[in-house]
Structure 1
């Protein structure tokens, strides 16, 4: 078992983490061109490539195995990111005010920005969620919310790093924690077990948006009553992004769990046993 000191070293004070620096044009994935072509490639592969031809040559058992490993990896990675962010905040935050409002001109260096960078790369890795849906011939699960979220959240994470954006540690910690629950749900599906707590996952996802707006209000108070907070302009994108996702998730919740949703649904062909149908995530 790792002790507290071991965790502090491996998740906070390891030289790679402690000395991390986001340098535009030098750090992998830090250029606008990388961001643009990454998102473009995702959208192209989602809508243009002949998926049915590809999926027909792959056995369902192979997709099931890959899906299980994919979900295990992202579950563990989400847990490590949440813990790394929490410990980095605990050991490096000079005071509580700093967690809510980075001072102006904060440089994107050190443990917290290392975990923001890993989080950014993890969102690119999550593109594989879409690929697995396509390969399983479960195209009905490829909703606008799913594709919109995957293609846009990468921009949010890029802005975090590019602007040293205030409040990202709170968003990173809560989102990574929610993803532990979410990927546990997906893993159960991949193993052939259909959990009964699908609604809980969606409710927790919606709750994180409401909490984000509350904390944002506190940050704006500090920003306008003090010397300002780092990366506030980036929050203009985030606010619009969170608001759009909140509306889409509430609509998804209403359609999936509304009192009349089951009565009005027509019979549909059952989805693959290793995928839980009609679920999305943030």
Structure 2
């Protein structure tokens, strides 16, 4: 019981969590200029590194990074798990504290998860963990550089995917966008599993007999698509609509682009996997 109370305090009731407020003057990396600079620097650095290694190494294989990728995967899995638990407990606390207000607007917990009331500000427990998720996106960018250094491989999809997800998580906070609680819950639980699996295989343990990571990402995109449809329906039905719907529309366009690129990548991966399986020995 004492452990549960301690965890609950540090993940939901700590003053910095309860009193959090997204602000350009109070929150690190919370300005548009920082976002644009970060995305531009990421793309330029990744492309430059890829070109330099291609020129220097030529036909040689990529360089070894030792245990760094495995440690990164373990770190990202743990961070994702903490964010998942934190935002889940924080959402429960917000529902408990504001249920009395929802009765006036006839809002249910399910509606709140998908559709914030108009006028919602980016402050409090849930947005603290949304901010933590946004900052964690910068750590995800390192995988691109690992891929370039180890395999001398840089894909257009990887650059677009990482850049878009960083922008999307910024928009969630900047416009107090609806749908972000569900999106973060689904994404972090997926990342906790995927990065845990990557750590598992990186230390030499046996992997799955099917493309585990690709399938997990496909399931995540499918779930997010269903939730996007739910937000649209909620916005059309609910009086006043959902908060941050303009940012949600832009978010939806980016997600559609990512989904199309990923679908192409998924079909290509599955075709290659099936071709390998039927290849005569």
TM-score bracket, normalised by the shorter chain, equals 0.7 to 0.9
Q: Quick one: structure 1 residues 91 and 220, their matched pair in 2 at CA, closer, same or farther if it must change by over 3 Å?
A: same
Is 1:9 the counterpart of 2:9? The answer is yes
- TM-score norm. by structure 1 comes to 0.84
Matched, 1:179 2:187: no
Gaps in structure 2 of 5+ consecutive residues? 100-107
Cα pair 2:84 2:188 within 8 Å, conserved: yes
Separation (CA, whole Å) in 1 of partners of 2:226 and 2:178: 14
Deviation of the 1:24 alpha carbon: 2.7
- The 2-side partners of 1:2 and 1:208 are apart by 35
Q: Report the Cα offset of residue 254 of structure 1.
A: 1.4
- Partner residue of 1:274? none
Say if 1:127 and 1:91 are closer, same or farther in 2 by CA, change over 3 A.
Answer: same
Aligned to 1:85: 87
Alignment partners' CA distance in 1, 2:155 and 2:206: 20
Give the Cα separation in 2 of the matches to 1:83 and 1:128: 24
Q: Contact 2:194/2:216 (CA < 8 Å) preserved in 1?
A: no
Q: Is the 8 A contact 1:22 1:30 kept in 2?
A: yes
Counterparts of 1:104 and 1:10, CA distance in 2: 29
d(CA) in 2 for partners of 1:4, 1:34? 38
Give the helix-richer structure, 1 or 2: 2
Distance change in 2, residues 1:217/1:260 (3 Å)? closer
Structure 1: gaps (5+ residues)? 267-282
Q: Shift of the alpha carbon at 1:189?
A: 3.1
Deviates more, 1:25-34 or 1:106-115: 25-34
Which of 71, 82, 90 matches 1:69? 71
Q: CA RMSD in A?
A: 2.5
Q: Could you tell me the TM-score, scaled by structure 2's length?
A: 0.84
Q: Deviations over 1:35-94 (max 9, x none)?
A: 00101110111012434659x9x973xx12111211111010010011111111111123
Question: How far apart are 1:213 and its partner, in Å?
Answer: 2.5
User: CA, structure 1 residues 17+265, in 2 after alignment: closer, same or farther (shift >3 Å)?
Assistant: farther
- What is the aligned counterpart of 2:127 among 92, 97, 113? 113
Stretches of 4+ aligned residues off by more than 3 angstroms = 51-54, 263-266
The answer to whether structure 1 residue 256 and structure 2 residue 269 are counterparts is: yes
In 2: Cα distance, 1:200 partner to 1:65 partner = 21
Q: How does 1:226-265 map to 2 (within 5 A)?
A: 226-258=239-271, 261-262=274-275
Count residues with an aligned counterpart. 260
**Kindly tell me: are residues 78 and 110 of structure 1, through their superposed partners in 2, closer, same or farther at Cα, counting changes over 3 Å?**
same
Task: Specify the SS of the correspondent of 1:3.
Answer: helix
Is 1:210 the counterpart of 2:210? The answer is no
Contact 1:255–1:261 (CA<8 Å) still a contact in 2? no
